[in-house]
Structure 1
Amino acid sequence: MKKPSAKFEYKTFALGEKLTEEQKEYFKKYGVIHFKKFIEPETAELFISELAKIEKQWLEEGIEKVKGIPLKFGKDHEGNPMIQRMCFTNQFSPVLAELIKDPRLQLLIELLAPYEGRISEDEKDGLVFNHYINQPNSKFSQMGWHTDSPRDLFLGQKILPMLNVGIHLDNCPSSNGGLRVLPGTHTQGVLKLLFGKKQFIDHKPDPREAAFEIERGDLTIHDGRLWHRVEVSPNVGEKSRRRVMYVPIITGKYKPKTDQSKTPFYHRFAKVVTK
């Protein structure tokens, strides 16, 4: 594994009752920040249990889309169907709905300053659950380099600032794959933002990339304009399992999704996201 660029000072923080100036300046410089122990391991287990209930219900009911957003299906080690990407999970569990109302998450809106932001409860894809596992039947083991900005263009709007907030439900040392970013690329121009790499297709490590030493319950936040990817685990089966929930903090006009929402055009390219 390549080491982070010498210019990137990898630090972790604790999220208290307010953001410190150091934390805000760190995020402004690098476009990413890592908070330790946002939730307790027992709480992470509770969330995993809630997600399993939702998954079971959706599989039994044969649900393939939620509010127009396709689910991503794979199979477990026994060949049974599993859902490896679920969206709007906060709307199907009171426990997860309460999570995204956590006052500490509201604090993160400050990282969008001077823009006003909001946590996406019923916009974009809501609270997303990604279930990465490296095995023969898996359809979700990695994700290529991308920024989160092209979606705005596909939706016919200008690129708007946003944050992606990740709540990690498993230990994920950098040796087990996981999140990789190019620190500081959130300040790049539009051309590099869109064409600096082949969006979702390019999986190659970059000498400038930084990895993270993540433990169950940690929180990561990255600017949507930052180049990032998810590295495949070198392990197979249970040792490769990585579960993470993401909720965006967004700006712009309020655009809620409903059961009548159409599937966004960019989902036609979903097959290139993973290998």
Structure 2
Amino acid sequence: MVKFEYKTFTLGDQLTKEQKAYFQKYGVIQFKNFINQETIQLFISELDKIEKSWIEQGIEKINGIPLKFGKDPKGNKMIQRMCFTNKYSTVLAEFLKDPRLKLLVELLQPYDGRISDNEKDGLVFNHYVNAENSKFTQMGWHTDSPRDLFLGQKILPMLNVGIHLDDCPSSNGGLRVLPGTQNQSVLKLLFGKKQFIDHNPDPREIGFEINAGDLTIHDGRLWHRVEVSPNFGEKSRRRVMYVPIITGKYMPKSEKSKTPFYHRFAKVVQK
């Protein structure tokens, strides 16, 4: 595995050679202050409205993808993983058209990529909170590639783009990756660790010092996990929106879409 140099960047109106080289080497990159505090609060408000509406309507799946429910520190029902949120908010739908997000497609070259607003799980909202009845506090080691095999496709490059809505220093848990493992063999990509079952820290892993408004991008072939927060209640709250940038055949989802069978086996939900 490559020796990692932790560095952050600012995303302008184009990707620089340094930024592209950094991502190609490590399979992950962090951009500071991608959205401001006003936009963060707007997004949180939109997500709260969607959550309230879905709970009131008793919705359990969107386009065949199960929602993940839990309870907040006060014991109230909450949705800890929501998908296709961009289809239920004009604000979030417009955000996916941000020209800066479209720049990230270049990180997949020589493949042609696209923002997955209508495929996979769309714009996902993960709401981690460490509380007594929380169902979503961490996520085990995994790569995103096995899903391609489950869907009968060959493994293709993809990006997971995370928009962070809360401060999350590495001391509060959060994203962990093994830098450079996007270039591993197929066998190691699939079987290097026990997918989703293994939560053990790896001496080679690195975490991130994230502020609300930051953007993280990681290659889907990279081994990554989400560490549980050592804190409880409000101090443990971590809200992150994820949208994939994908390659390959266009495969849109709709309300008639069937639930992918791997969801039946997963006790933890993939991003």
TM-score range, shorter chain: over 0.9
What is the aligned counterpart of 1:176 among 165, 172, 177?
172
Q: Report SS of the residue matched to 2:15.
A: coil
The residue type paired with residue 15 of structure 2 is L
1:98 aligns with 2:94: yes
Unaligned runs of 5+ in 1: none
Please give the per-residue CA displacement for 1:189-235, whole angstroms capped at 9, x wherever unaligned: 00000000000000000000010000000000000000000000000
1:9 aligns with 2:20: no
What is the aligned counterpart of 2:198 among 195, 202, 214?
202
Alpha carbons of structure 1 residues 272 and 101: separation in structure 2 relative to 1, 3 Å? closer
Q: Using the alignment, how far apart are the partners of 2:174 and 2:211 within structure 1?
A: 12
1:53 aligns with 2:46: no
Q: Using the alignment, how far apart are the partners of 1:272 and 1:166 within structure 2?
A: 19
Q: Aligned residue for 1:152?
A: 148
TM-score, normalising length from structure 2?
Answer: 0.98
1:231 aligns with 2:227: yes
Q: Aligned residue for 1:36?
A: 32
State the 1:270 CA deviation. 2.3
Q: Aligned residue for 2:19?
A: 23
Q: Report SS of the residue matched to 2:43.
A: helix
State the 1:269 CA deviation. 2.0
TM-score, normalising length from structure 1?
Answer: 0.97
Q: Where do residues 50-89 of structure 1 align in structure 2 (5 Å cutoff)?
A: 50-89=46-85
Q: How many residues align?
A: 270
Please give the per-residue CA displacement for 1:162-212, whole angstroms capped at 9, x wherever unaligned: 000000000000000000000000000000000000000000000000100
The residue type paired with residue 81 of structure 2 is R
Contact 1:144 1:273 in 2 (8 A): no
Q: Where do residues 118-157 of structure 1 align in structure 2 (5 Å cutoff)?
A: 118-157=114-153
Contact 2:139 2:268 in 1 (8 A): no
1:193 aligns with 2:189: yes
Q: Using the alignment, how far apart are the partners of 2:268 and 2:74 within structure 1?
A: 25
Q: Report SS of the residue matched to 2:3.
A: coil
The residue type paired with residue 211 of structure 2 is E
Q: Quick one: percent identity of the two aligned structures? A: 80
State the 1:7 CA deviation. 1.2
Q: Report SS of the residue matched to 1:270.
A: coil
The residue type paired with residue 76 of structure 2 is N
The residue type paired with residue 183 of structure 1 is P
State the 1:6 CA deviation. 8.4
1:258 aligns with 2:223: no
Q: Report SS of the residue matched to 2:127.
A: strand
Q: Using the alignment, how far apart are the partners of 1:171 and 1:62 within structure 2?
A: 31
The residue type paired with residue 206 of structure 2 is A
Q: Report SS of the residue matched to 1:211.
A: coil
Q: Aligned residue for 2:244?
A: 248
The residue type paired with residue 262 of structure 1 is K
Q: Using the alignment, how far apart are the partners of 1:41 and 1:133 within structure 2?
A: 21
The residue type paired with residue 264 of structure 1 is P
Contact 2:2 2:180 in 1 (8 A): no
Q: Using the alignment, how far apart are the partners of 1:188 and 1:271 within structure 2?
A: 26
Unaligned runs of 5+ in 2: none
Please give the per-residue CA displacement for 1:210-265, whole angstroms capped at 9, x wherever unaligned: 10000000000000000000000000000000000000000001000000000001
Contact 1:201 1:273 in 2 (8 A): no
What is the alpha-carbon root mean square deviation over aligned residues? Answer: 1.1
Q: Using the alignment, how far apart are the partners of 1:134 and 1:268 within structure 2?
A: 24
State the 1:79 CA deviation. 1.5
